[in-house]
Chain A
């Protein structure tokens, strides 16, 4: 132990959790809005759900669940000073996150191709309930997608820090906090899958 550096890992995690709690409220508000609209327009939401590609939604769920596993395994590896394994796990997470975004891009691309995008002329001809469905679909999966991009950027920095020993066995709270963020992004997707893709 050389020198004394003030550190409070629990405080860092508490701070991260307080931030995550605001994220939960942000998405929670959207989920509450969704539940009311689905209650009000059950048939339209059922029809909207049937128009979405459930297979892509399920594949993306598996991709994100696996990416959550690789993050948590990276933390175990760091705790055991297995630097190469930690880097491999984080690398796998980045690849899986990018895979998620590519699948998402194809899915949105197909919707755009059919004239379904926010404020599109075709969307305006649909019944109000379906307009609400697609409005929530683009808002919630879009906001989630932004979180995936941010999470990937943060985890990219973590990979770099592990490589340069800034994150190591005796100092890895940054990696833990980045992992927490990534898991929350995963949890949000866990809810988005049945709400949109399995709604039919």
Chain B
């Protein structure tokens, strides 16, 4: 029971998540904003702001911040695998 109480003390409160939600809304606004600034800005917005938003959801809403290393590794290995497939496909496309 003491272990449970200890664990409970680490739980973040309502405020943390509401702040993250506000940041997510602001980032969405920025993303929509840069999408009007032309193709290059839109692509850069897509490549930077979107992963940042996803990262915030993963890290805070999905509690990865409060988990041990194993779950973080599972997610990183998956993202790394997808990145390898992405790189392999485009290395193929580039030399066609």
Measuring CB to CB, which residues of chain A are less than 8 angstroms from any residue of chain B?
1, 10, 13-14, 17-18, 21, 24-25, 28-29, 31-32, 35-36, 39, 46, 54, 58, 61-62, 65-66, 68-69, 71-73, 76, 79, 170, 176, 179-180, 183-184, 186-187, 190-191, 193-195, 198
A-B contact count (CB 8 A): 106
Q: Which residue of A lies closest to B92 (CB)?
A: A36
* Shortest beta-carbon contacts, A-B, top 10: A198-B35, A28-B82, A69-B21, A194-B46, A21-B78, A187-B54, A183-B62, A183-B61, A72-B17, A72-B61
29 contacts between A and B (CB under 8 A): A21-B74, A25-B78, A28-B82, A29-B85, A32-B86, A32-B89, A54-B32, A62-B25, A68-B21, A68-B57, A68-B61, A69-B21, A69-B61, A73-B17, A76-B12, A76-B17, A179-B61, A183-B61, A186-B57, A186-B61, A190-B57, A191-B50, A191-B54, A193-B31, A194-B35, A194-B42, A194-B46, A194-B49, A195-B46
Main secondary structure of the interface of A (DSSP, over half): helix
